[in-house]
Structure 1
Amino acid sequence: MNAKKRKMKLPIIAVICSLFFSVLPLISVMVAGAIANVKHCLLDEGAVNPCIIFGVDVGDILYSMLVFGWLMLVSLPLGSVLTIISVAWLLFVMIQNYYYRKALPEEK
C-alpha cells in the first residue's frame, strides 16, 4: 500500500509545481505592486524609481520584480500545457489505482 501512496505523490507534486511555475511571474508583479502601493512609491516599467523601506532603497528590486512579469508571456502558456499533462497523468494513476484495488480479492 505504501508504494501506491508513493505513486500518487509524484503526479500531485507535478501539478503543484506546474501551477506554481505558470503563476510565479504574476505573483512577483503583485508583490512588487503591493509593496510600492503601501510605501506610496512610484512603480513603472519606464525607469527605476527610488523607494525607501527601513532606510534602504529597494527601487531596483521592485523594478526587477515588475519587469519579471514579462516572463508570463512564456510561463502561462507553457505552464498551462504542463498542468494539463500533469493532471492527465494524475487521472491516469488514479484510474489505475482504482482498477488495481478492484481486482484485488476482498479481505474478510
Structure 2
Amino acid sequence: MSKRKNRSREFIDNSDDSDDTGTAAAKKAKVVKQQPQASSDADLDDKLELSPKRFVTVRTFKGRIMVDIREYWDSDGELKPGKKGISLSLEQWEKLKGFVSEIDKRISGIS
C-alpha cells in the first residue's frame, strides 16, 4: 500500500549545486520541506471574523490578490487554517459582489 504524500508544504528546488555534467542525478530536482506557518494573535488582526472559527482575509498567492474565506481549526489553543474554504480571484470577488442584491431578494423569498 502506498503512502499518500501531502505536497501542500513542499516546493521543488531546481537549483543545482553539482557541476554541469548533464547526468540525470545532477538534473534531479530536490524536494525541500517548508515549515508550516503558525497562526498567531498578530495574524488574527488581519482577518475579518465571520464566526469564531471562520475568517475572511485578503492575501496574495502566486502574485495574484485573493479574497480567502476559510474555516480554521483549534490546535492546542492556536487557530490554524483548514482545508474548508474558498479563495476568490478579484474577478470572482467583483462578480460575487454584483450578486448581493439578487441573493438578498432570494433570501427574502424563502423566509
User: Normalising to structure 2: TM-score of the pair?
Assistant: 0.25
Looking at both structures, which has the greater relative contact order when contacts are Cα pairs under 8 Å and sequence separation is at least 6? 1
Query: 1 or 2, which has the higher helix percentage?
Result: 1
User: Normalising to structure 1: TM-score of the pair?
Assistant: 0.25
Query: 1 or 2, which has the higher strand percentage?
Result: 2
Larger Rg: 1
